A and B are shown apart, each in its own frame.
Chain A
Amino acid sequence: EAGVAQSPRYKIIEKRQSVAFWCNPISGHATLYWYQQILGQGPKLLIQFQNNGVVDDSQLPKDRFSAERLKGVDSTLKIQPAKLEDSAVYLCASSPTAGTGVGYTFGSGTRLTVV
């Protein structure tokens, strides 16, 4: 079974530029999550999709971050414009259902550096 695919692995941009991350979840997983993990901290949930609908985006900075999951499969997360404090690892995860932890699988993440 293929895992959660994320790209790119690394990205370095200047502040005020825009950037996009891509995630392809495990086939058949209805729930998709985007997390932000700052160095030395645990992952913080940015947005959770159930199929192509948003379940929770309460911690997504909507003035600069956006995410979509067209057709309920892969997803993109965009930051525009980026700030220095956005430097972090962005993790995508998927699961068959929400809230149980069963089958919860993470991708390897995208490490973003904003200079």
Chain B
Amino acid sequence: KQEVTQIPAALSVPEGENLVLNCSFTDSAIYNLQWFRQDPGKGLTSLLLIQSSQREQTSGRLNASLDKSSGRSTLYIAASQPGDSATYLCAVYSSASKIIFGSGTRLSIRP
């Protein structure tokens, strides 16, 4: 059974720092992995989608990597800003109907 873990559960850093969020999964036989952002009281917004054949994806200040063999993905945020404060969730696609989310990392960027 696929399990997805995100550590840390919460993180607070000063503005301008680079930071890394972690996601680990127990079954390496995955299709894709996706990182989402969730603002309070809102739904989830897709940030980056990494297909199983890829090792990383980049969008602006965000970079996500995927290492299937070790069951890990990281989301790197460069030059953090207060507007980056949100909960970040990773989701693993084990099949067309098996999408498992982690519990998220609640990120707070201090001005």
Is B44 located at the chain interface by the 8 A CB criterion? yes
- B63 touches A (CB below 8 Å): no
A45 and B99 within 8 A (CB): yes
B38 to chain A, nearest CB (A): 9
Indicate if B103 sits at the interface (CB-CB under 8 A). Answer: yes
Residue from A42, A99, A107 within 8 A of B4 (CB atoms): A42
- Complex alpha-carbon distance, A101 and B99, angstroms: 9
Which chain B residues (66-108) contact chain A, with CB distance < 8 Å? 89, 91, 93, 95-99, 101-104
Q: Does B42 interact with chain A (Cβ within 8 Å)?
A: yes
Nearest CB in chain A: distance from B92 CB, A: 10
Q: Which residues of B contact A108 (CB under 8 A)?
A: 41-43
Q: Complex Cα distance A21/B38, Å?
A: 21
Q: Which B residue sits closest to A3, measured CB to CB?
A: B43
| Contact count band on B | 20 to 34
Whether B44 lies near A91 (C-beta < 8 A) is yes
**How many A residues touch B, CB cutoff 8 Å?**
25
Please state if B101 and A99 are interface contacts (CB–CB under 8 Å).
no
- Does B34 contact A42, Cβ atoms closer than 8 Å? no
Of the residues A40, A41, A44, A99, contact of B93 by C-beta under 8 Å: A99
| A115 to B45 CA separation, bound complex (whole angstroms) | 30
Is A99 a contact of B103 with CB atoms below 8 Å?
A: no
A4 interface residue per 8 A CB criterion: yes
Q: Which B residues are CB-close (under 8 A) to A33?
A: 99
A43 contacts B93, C-beta separation under 8 Å: no
Contact of A101 among B45, B46, B89, B102 (CB under 8 A): B46
The 10 sampled A-B contact pairs (Cβ below 8 Å) are A48-B97, A99-B95, A99-B97, A100-B93, A101-B34, A101-B91, A104-B46, A106-B43, A107-B43, A108-B42
Q: What 11 additional pairs, Cβ within 8 angstroms, besides A41-B103, A99-B31, A99-B95? A: A33-B99, A42-B4, A42-B91, A45-B99, A55-B96, A93-B43, A98-B97, A101-B49, A106-B43, A106-B45, A107-B43
